[in-house]
């Protein structure tokens, strides 16, 4: 019985720890330098005229990510020129998910005609730092004097299959509010999508 209780408590600690990882709304997000599909390194600081960023943790292979590709591109088309570019980051380890290799990312961009940066996070450093858990998982950042403040975390909208014309466009609404000097009325939603395919840690 004592062993069972200890096992339960250990599992509870793990769950609580995982729940607390990553950024919360109001935190300042770290910049990054990651390889884009064009071979160049990209940082948020490269966007000199940006007012903020729509950071999308995604991948090539998840059906939910695929369902949102057109909408992610539309967000970049709508907001990049207004100061909120999309910056997409592939979260998946290519060994665990062969369809998410760097070469496959390049093929996907060419096939779909993406205009946003599509970066590789091979060791999950920023995926973990931001706290992304699903693909897609969005973090809207606003540039402030203190740094890049997280103002929205969660889903793109509440309509994966684009069946509801009256869907709640969470990211779009958040950025629209930021553009008129307001904080997003909805700052957090549940990201719905595939689990991230993590890199297997070497045994010690």
13 falls within a domain: no
In a domain, 64, yes or no: yes
- Tell whether 57 is covered by a domain: yes
Residue 84 lies in a domain: yes
Residue 153: phi and psi, rounded to 5, are -135, 135
Q: What are phi and psi of 147, to 5 degrees?
A: 145, -165
- Residue with structure tokens 């059906």? 63
Preceding peptide of 136 cis, ω within 30°: yes
pLDDT by residue, tens only, the chain of 204 residues? 555 444 444 444 333 333 448 999 999 999 999 999 999 999 999 999 999 999 999 999 999 999 999 999 999 999 999 999 999 999 999 999 999 999 999 999 999 999 999 999 999 999 999 999 999 999 999 999 999 999 999 999 999 877 777 789 999 999 999 999 999 999 999 999 999 999 886 544
Domain membership flag for residue 17? no
The pTM for the full model equals: 0.88
Classify residue 79 as exposed, middle or buried by CB count within 10 Å of its CB (0-12, 13-18, 19+): buried
Closest by Cα among 128, 130, 125 to 23: 130
Q: What are phi and psi of 115, to 5 degrees?
A: -105, -5
Domain holding 96: CATH number? 3.40.30.10
Structural domain range at position 45: 28-195
Report if residue 53 sits inside a domain: yes
In a domain, 5, yes or no: no
Burial 133-159 (b: 16+ CB within 10 A, else e): bbbbbbbbbbbeeeebbbbbbbbbbeb
Number of structural domains in the chain:
1
Residue 116 lies in a domain: yes
């Amino acid at each position: 019985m004592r062993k069972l209780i200890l096992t339960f408590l250990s599992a509870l600690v793990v769950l609580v720890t995982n729940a607390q990882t990553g950024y919360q709304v109001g935190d300042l997000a770290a910049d990054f330098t990651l390889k884009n599909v064009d071979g160049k390194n990209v940082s948020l600081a490269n966007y000199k005229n940006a007012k903020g960023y729509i950071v999308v943790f995604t991948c090539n292979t998840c059906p939910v990510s695929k369902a949102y590709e057109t909408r992610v591109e539309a967000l970049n088309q709508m907001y990049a020129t207004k100061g909120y570019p999309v910056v997409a980051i592939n979260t998946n380890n290519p060994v665990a998910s062969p369809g998410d290799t760097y070469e496959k990312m390049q093929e996907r961009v060419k096939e779909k005609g993406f205009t946003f940066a599509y970066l590789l996070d091979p060791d999950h450093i920023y995926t973990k730092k931001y706290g992304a858990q699903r693909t897609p998982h969005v973090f809207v950042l606003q540039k402030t004097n203190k740094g890049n403040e997280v103002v929205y975390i969660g889903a793109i909208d509440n309509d994966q299959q684009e069946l509801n014309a009256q869907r709640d466009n969470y990211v779009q609404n958040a950025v629209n509010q930021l553009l008129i000097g307001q904080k997003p009325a909805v700052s957090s939603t549940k990201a719905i999508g595939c689990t991230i395919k993590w890199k297997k840690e070497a045994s010690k």
